[in-house]
Amino acid sequence: MENDTIDKENQEVRRTRRRKSRIGESIENEKRAPKRHSKKKGGIVSTIFTVLFSLGTIGIIFVMFLLYGPYSGFREWLVTTAMTTMTHQYFATWFYDEDTIDYILDKNKVVEIDETTDANAINMAGLEHTTEYENEYERAILERDEKNNDYKIIEINEKKFDGYLVAVYDPSRVHTVVTEKLGVSGQYLTTMAKNNDALIAINGGGFNDPNFNSTGGQPLGITVSMGEYKTTASYGGSGGIIGFTAENKLVLGKMTLKQAQEQGIRDAVTFGPFLIVNGKASSVVGNGGWGTAPRTAIAQRKDGIVLFLILDGRTASKPGADMDDLIEILQNYGAYNAANLDGGTSSVLVVNDVIVNDPIDSTGAHKTRPIATGFIVSKDDSDDSDHELVEEKLK
């Protein structure tokens, strides 16, 4: 009996010990649990860091491959696009020395036709109305709007760019305008158009840009406005004089001041390159050396009709045009003489004092900048212009 009692007591003691042991194990497990969680959390952070580091390393290797690898396409695009801008040449100079940049620019350039325009080839009799057209481009130019005998705006929509081609039927009304603050600062084209009572206006030639501040006050080379020589500086860049004679013919040439005066230039700017001279297109070597950007060009057909071409760019889907694009479009529409004008943020089309294209500046903002010169179509008393194509934008 006594032994039974002792056995029961011993069993109870063992049960108590087992309970305490289980409780202790539970407590110990709870203590360990946060440590396992901490280790798991640390593993996740380490994995994320490793992935990010790996992606960063791959990105750097990829960029270095584009900048310095065996494939030259990206390198040439970067240098030619950057070096033809007013404010972003550092994109090229950060990565390449002067010799490399010069080498790339020499591989990518426009080889101009070494001729001066033969003005006798322009026959104004072609301005008469016709009902026969060789192709869709001829129809677009020559089939005039019933309510508009002054000009016609044609939309341009391509994979890399959008824009407008303006056919001006009376070349005698095309003139050069100049900033009122010549030598100091440029003006917005809308201001110049309004001040000169313009029906239509586009930006003109290049300008000096000290310290890349885009003031636009000093036109390059020779500038003539309605017979008055506004600037007479020498010019050694591509292209040269882009101007109209007293006979209303567009003349392109590398001229001195005396030669320009002898040609009877009444309105002109200086820039380039020349794209088409006497019906012959310039040769584009590589990508042409001007990169891809918004563009402006001026041209004249053999029948005397003047063409203004304005192309937008600088968006993710539509970066802009190169020199080949300009030549192709202008040839399609019958240009006999054509020249590139200032591009990028300067590329602007103004109709009735309103910008109708979409200029984008270096910050990505949808706006233009002050410029030195422009070409306008002057108004006259008989204007009956119909702005139907750009009516919504004019509102």
Unique residue bearing structure tokens 């010799």? 99
Rounded Cα distance between 192 and 197, Å, is: 9
The residue extents of the domains of the chain are 22-71, 72-107, 111-382
Summarize pLDDT for 119-159 with one digit per residue, the tens. Answer: 999 988 755 666 778 899 999 999 887 767 788 999 999 99
pLDDT digits (tens, 9 = 90+) for 55-74: 878 877 766 666 676 666 67
Give per-residue pLDDT as tens, 78-97.
767 666 655 567 666 777 77
| Residue 204: per-residue pLDDT | 97
The pLDDT mean for the chain works out to 83
Q: Residue 25 has which token pair?
A: 């194990």
CB distance 271 to 330 below 8 Å = no
Q: Is the pLDDT of residue 10 over 80?
A: no
DSSP conformation class of 310: E
pLDDT bracket for residue 39 (50, 70, 90): low
Range list of H helices, 151-299:
189-195, 257-262
Task: Using pLDDT thresholds of 50, 70 and 90, give the confidence band for residue 8.
Answer: low
